[in-house]
Amino acid sequence: MKIIIVGAGEVGYNIASKLSSENKKVVVIDKDPVAARRLSDDLDVQVMIASGSSPNVLLEAGIKDAEILLAVTDSDEANLVSCLVANMISPTTKKYARVRSADYDDYHENFKKDAPHIDTVINPEIAVVNTIRRLMSVPGAIDMGSFADGKVRFVGLRIDRNSPMANISLTEFPSLFKDTRPLISAIIRGDRVIVPRGGDKILPKDLVYFITETEKLNEIIEQFGKKIKPLNSVLIIGGGRIGLRLARLLEKESINIKIVDSDLERCEELAKKTEKAVILHGDASEKNLFLEENVSEIDVVVSLTNHDETNILVSLLAKEMGAHNTITKISKINYLPLMKTIGLDKVVSPRLSAATSILRGIRKGKVLSAISVFGEGAEFIEAVALKTSGITKKPLSKIAFPKGSILVCIIREDEIIIPSGESVVEPEDRIIIFTKTEDIQKLEKLLTVKLEFF
């Protein structure tokens, strides 16, 4: 598989790193020699210092032989032009474009149907806002996502010492939790990703990922010793594009919102673009602001400024002053592993969201979706098994999955099945697989050779 990436920034670097580690042929194009040199020094990819919207450059990069073009620069216009030019030269090449501006929101479908014929338009800001809203709904949730049109959820929860799950082995689950027991997909202990087996124990401080039917989520959250409370108030620090999108979403739910921004002109603009939100002009890194707003009484503080360092400082300050729940936006992906160390578990990244959205369309076997978790140390992959599949008609215990992979859910029409070793996958079932990143290549071979997908 040959893939051309236009843009060597954080998103382009992240995707190129992942794809090159899976032995895919990758060409990266960027006008910035510093960004290009970083990729050339760090990764086994071909790098071109040039414009990705130039027909001659795309031809030299091998666009006619490329299966996929990913346009992921920081410029929406440059990404759209790159796809337009690529479509003129090589119409059969799939095109993915990163488009962030809200001005284009109403035209995503037009981009797909008309020129530049983009197969997938990715707006990472919309994905991040939706992630933030999901994290707000579950106390203690560090990560959360859905499959099968929202019928199935995966949740990542940090285990407290007082949690009923603490120090419990997985073999005890059936007797303790009966039919409502969650399927533990992964245990993150320190820097290790553990694909659990029956004898494994859940320990305090573990980050546990589980799969459940959406309708049983509240019940299972309580089994972890947590209670879901109504969301009444949110303090948003930073009134940029993401902050405004989040405020508009929360306004529809009649949640009390306050937005803090240090730019007076932006505050005036926010007042015009929101209906019920209270707009505050001030510096959120000052303790006085949190004191005046009684931060300990606010349900969630979300730090969404354009500066990672400010977001980190604000979230730490809010926690120190009694905030129960903080969510922090981080753009620099290499910061993500540090967040747990400094006490910030709930972190979102627009760039990681963009990379995740793009990668789901690249996986072999034409999987329905793929979601990276644990800073991209692992993935949930959703696919459909056909009658020719090698995974059907025999118990899961008889299937040779890679050691770092586990099938965690079967969706059969309207039935959600949390599988055991005796479960059997039928043709047309949707399956959800959890896998370590290091085992994706092995899993892809299994999916490509023994499975057929839509």
- Return d(Cα 263, Cα 200) in angstroms, integer: 51
CB 453 within 8 A of CB 367: yes
Give yes or no: residues 337 and 443 share one domain: no
Q: What pLDDT shows up at residue 450?
A: 46
The answer to the question of residue 146 being in a domain is yes
Give yes or no: residues 295 and 275 share one domain: yes
The answer to the question of residue 158 being in a domain is yes
CB 285 within 8 A of CB 310: yes
What secondary structure letter does DSSP report for 375?
Answer: T
Structural domain boundaries enclosing 404: 354-450
Give yes or no: residues 114 and 66 share one domain: yes
Which one of 314, 347, 380 terminates a domain? Answer: 347
Residue 405's Cα: distance from chain center in Å?
Answer: 19
Give yes or no: residues 324 and 381 share one domain: no
Which CATH number goes with the domain that contains 432? Answer: 3.30.70.1450
- Return d(Cα 129, Cα 242) in angstroms, integer: 7
Q: What pLDDT shows up at residue 266?
A: 96
C-alpha distances in Å from residue 229, one per residue of 108, 301, 357: 36, 16, 30
Q: What pLDDT shows up at residue 452?
A: 43
Give yes or no: residues 329 and 362 share one domain: no
The answer to the question of residue 265 being in a domain is yes
pTM of the model: 0.80
- Return d(Cα 364, Cα 453) in angstroms, integer: 9
Q: What pLDDT shows up at residue 85?
A: 96
Give yes or no: residues 381 and 435 share one domain: yes
Number of domains in the chain: 4
Give yes or no: residues 237 and 343 share one domain: yes
Which one of 60, 95, 122 terminates a domain? Answer: 122
- Return d(Cα 103, Cα 188) in angstroms, integer: 40
Report strand pairing: 405-412 vs 415-417. antiparallel
Q: What pLDDT shows up at residue 358?
A: 78
CB 89 within 8 A of CB 63: yes
CB 9 within 8 A of CB 73: yes
| pLDDT tens-place string over residues 327-361 | 999 988 778 778 878 888 889 988 877 777 777 66
Which CATH number goes with the domain that contains 297? Answer: 3.40.50.720
Q: What pLDDT shows up at residue 320?
A: 92
Q: Tokens for 242? A: 């993401």
Give yes or no: residues 321 and 287 share one domain: yes
User: Which stretches in the chain have pLDDT values below 70?
Assistant: 178-180, 360-367, 374-376, 386, 388-390, 444-454
The answer to the question of residue 274 being in a domain is yes
The answer to the question of residue 98 being in a domain is yes
Q: Tokens for 446? A: 């299994």
The helix (H) or strand (E) run that includes residue 381 is strand 378-384
Give yes or no: residues 7 and 95 share one domain: yes
The helix (H) or strand (E) run that includes residue 265 is helix 264-273
Give yes or no: residues 174 and 275 share one domain: no
Give yes or no: residues 136 and 61 share one domain: no
Give yes or no: residues 118 and 160 share one domain: no
Q: What pLDDT shows up at residue 421?
A: 84
Which one of 223, 247, 269 terminates a domain? Answer: 223
The answer to the question of residue 228 being in a domain is no
